[in-house]
A and B are shown apart, each in its own frame.
Chain A
Amino acid sequence: MNYHTANGDQIEITSQIIGDITVGEVVQSIEGEMYEVRNIEDTNITVELIQVEEDWGE
């Protein structure tokens, strides 16, 4: 899978993907930043950096 942002920056992710990757899925880069999957075309996956909200997660 080729993860990249809309402007073409390559992202290496560390997330374990269960089943098929889906639009809306949250993945984590090796730098620890969180991205959300915006588009999937074959093996090309466009992700967008999302801000870690104050109330993020558990």
Chain B
Amino acid sequence: MTKIGLLHTGIRNEEKLLLQAANTQGVELNMIDIRSVKLTPSNVSEWDSYDVFLERSISSVRGNAVISFLSDLNLPVINTQSVMEICNDKFRTACILEAHNVPVVRSILVFNEETAKEATKELGGFPVVTKSREGSWGRLMALVNDADALESVFSHRAFMGPEQSAVIIQEYINKKESRDIRAFVIDGRCICAIYRTSPHWITNTARGGVTSNCLVNDELQAICKAASDAVGGGILAMDIFETDSGYVINEINHTMEFKNSEDPTGVSISGEIISYCRNYNA
């Protein structure tokens, strides 16, 4: 029987769904609260009894540290350290997708207001979106409509520490029907997708976006496969915009939330994740 170590911090409904799915499939799944672990190279025996680890930490600082530790011990972790490192960094994700000819929202990384103005012009002018390299749920994202707003963004960021001096200036995509797509991709296959609809320009379900089923057509399947291959595969959630020229990737999440998506899609995402873990061959 496969033995999975589920690495977690706080337990969300996603983790409970994964536990239920493991029970249904007869898989041994042990919950490991990584807030209370002590990582030393000398306690390898504590870890090597598992067939695979599934990283589900809410905190990326803790999650990334544990993934790196286990990877250095050559223990199998989903997602891999490489995938985690790419997807943690929105700008790096964009660069890698671009390098692999995967359609992606145009982004320019800048470090001050003057270059931000130049980048805005290169992207076709206002409005643009500013965002940090890391972050989720739309935090520290801003829709910037004019030069005054751009100045405000940089004046605020000056007090946020050196990490926040790197700002992504991103082309603003006017969403069709006020919605975007979140596609759930496992091992290069889009297993299901939802529309996230919101009157607000940020559509995250954690911020009130309403979910509905999105049928997976060949074009959506193809861009998901290409994006998955580009970043290294595994279990991914892709945020995708619909444009007149086709789909474009916005971001890729490597520790996805999905509790609001099983009902509208009718797909047991948790079950698919556990199945992938069972058959995972590092």
| Chain A residues proximal to chain B, CB less than 8 Å | 15-19, 22, 24-26, 34, 36, 50, 53-58
- Please pick, from A22, A25, A54, A57, the residue contacting B206 in the complex, using a CB distance under 8 A: A57
Q: How far is the CA of A26 from the CA of B10 in the complex (A)?
A: 6
Q: What does the 1/0 interface line of B214-251 toward A look like (CB < 8 Å)?
A: 00000000000000000000000100000000000000
Q: How far is the CB of B133 from chain A (nearest CB, A)?
A: 12
Q: Which residues of A contact B20 (CB under 8 A)?
A: 18-19
Known: A56-B59, A57-B257. A22 touches B16 (CB 8 A): yes
In the bound assembly, the distance between CA atoms of A53 and B58 in angstroms comes to 9
Q: Is the CB of B73 closer than 8 A to any CB of chain A?
A: no
User: A55-B135, A55-B136 are contacts. A25–B59 as well, Cβ < 8 Å?
Assistant: no
A14 to chain B, nearest CB (A): 12
CB contact between A18 and one of B8, B16, B60, B237 (< 8 Å): that residue: B16
Within 8 A of A (CB), among B80-103: none
Structural contact, B11 and A58, CB atoms closer than 8 A: no
Contact indicator A53/B10 (Cβ below 8 Å): no
Residues of B within 8 A of A16 (CB): 13, 259
Nearest opposing residue in chain B for A20, CB measure: B16
- Chain B contacts for A24, CB-based, 8 A: 8, 10-11, 33
- Across the interface, do A58 and B253 meet the contact criterion of CB distance under 8 Å? yes
Shortest Cβ gap from B115 to chain A (Å): 24
> What distance in Å separates the Cβ of A58 from its nearest Cβ neighbour in chain B?
5
A18 contacts B17, CB within 8 Å?
yes
- CA A56 to CA B139, docked complex, whole Å: 9
Instruction: Show 27 A/B contacts (Cβ-Cβ < 8 Å), sorted by A.
Output: A16-B13, A18-B16, A18-B17, A24-B11, A24-B33, A25-B11, A25-B12, A26-B58, A34-B10, A36-B10, A50-B10, A53-B58, A53-B59, A54-B134, A54-B135, A54-B139, A55-B61, A55-B136, A56-B58, A56-B59, A56-B137, A56-B139, A57-B137, A57-B257, A58-B136, A58-B256, A58-B257
